[in-house]
Amino acid sequence: MPTVIKTSEDRPAGTKTHHQPDGTFVNPWPSFKSGDASFLRVLWNWERERSKPPPESERLAVRKPDFEKIQQFYHGKIQGNFLLTWIGHAAMLITVPRMHILFDPCLSDRCSPSQLVGPKRITPPACQIEDLPPVDVVVISHNHYDHLDKNTILALAKSPQTYFFVPLGCKKWFTDLEIKNVVECDWWDEYKYTVERDIETSVSVAATPCQHFSGRSLWDRNHTLWASWVLVSKNAKFFFGGDTGLRTVPENFEGDLATLPTCPAFNEIGEKYGPFNLSAIPIGAYSPRWFMSRVHCDPSDAVLVHKMVKSQKSVGMHFGTFILTDEPVNEPPKKLKEEAKAAGLAEDEFITIEIGESIVV
């Protein structure tokens, strides 16, 4: 069986400014200004459900993952630090020699409490859980339905050796489903996960801050924490942005975005763990900015996050799968290319890939 050992020291309670006395959580920075998002979110999802799906010509390309290549990398027959495969939306499979780590898998048709109503996929996942190689570690950024999917988790939990790393407060959701091997993390908690096969392989998994919120109903808003994540292997580091905003853009704002406060956590992550060999950063579900900016990056914000965490190469995610907001489904990768160029990034420094595609770093 794998072993999991906590390697970080507990932080003093006075430094945990994201904890509230009533047990809920907050974004403790000037970059986050709250609004009546719970009510607005309901209206927005209703509006999205009414909208027509885009024509096939505007949808993202989907390919079957190259599982032979993934297994060759797993067995050390292809050189590199990480092999990343985009399963769709925020679901990322990271392979290191002798280990597979899956982030935010949501493979159901709808990201909703019910598979009868709610936002429906406009592009299929690259594969199903049964198609994947055995997954050692599953990492969850927060409990929204497009990141924590019951059907997908139950399929993954059939393996008794799979470990689940989740933000503070999320463990009960798993134990209520009789799922074991759940490691619950506050921001800056770090664990070493080790598995012995023909060789011993270890990775460090650390929960890091991001600017978002949580809830699976109208009555549990921010009862559980949200997180970005850091994965450290023997020779390299990977950053998973989860679901995050960077700053709050006021309605009808026409000033310089640089004057608005940005979430300082990403600089802290870059200082503590950077530079990162590879990152997955959200670039979609951002329009309109007056509503979404506080919790969802647009491509210009994503480029700033890339710089702040000191990422050497980043892949865009969290777009092209569900219609969650107003921007055209194929707009995020186009805008990312423009923003990356404007920021002076190298052409291949911050990219998007096809659903099902793999890259090696």
Phi-psi label, residue 259: left if phi above 0, alpha if psi -120 to 50, beta otherwise: alpha
pLDDT of residue 42: 46
Domains and CATH numbers, the chain: 60-250+258-360 (3.60.15.10)
Strand bridging mode 358-360 / 350-351: unpaired
Question: SS3 string of the chain?
Answer: CCEEEECCCCCCHHHCCCECCCCCECCCCCCCCCCCHHHHHHHHHHHHHHCCCCCHHHCCCECCCCHHHHHHHHCCCCCCCCEEEEEECCEEEEEECCEEEEECCCCCCECCCCCCCCCEECCCCCCCHHHCCCCCEEECCCCCCCCCCHHHHHHHCCCCCCEEEEECCCHHHHHHCCCCCEEEECCCCEEEEEEECCCEEEEEEEEECCECCCCCCCCCCCCCCCCEEEEECCCCEEEECCCCECCCCCCCCCCCHHHCCCCCHHHHHHHHHCCECEEEEECCCCCCHHHHCCCCCCHHHHHHHHHHCCECCEEEECCCCECCCCCCCCHHHHHHHHHHHHCCCCCCCEECCCECCEEEC
pLDDT of residue 316: 99
**Is 296 annotated in some ligand binding site?**
yes
- What are 208's strand-pairing partners? 228
pLDDT averaged per 10 residues in sequence order, the chain, 361 residues: 94 90 98 70 52 73 96 97 98 98 96 78 95 98 97 97 98 98 98 92 98 95 98 97 97 93 98 99 95 96 99 98 88 97 98 98 98
pLDDT of residue 53: 73
pLDDT of residue 46: 47
pLDDT of residue 39: 46
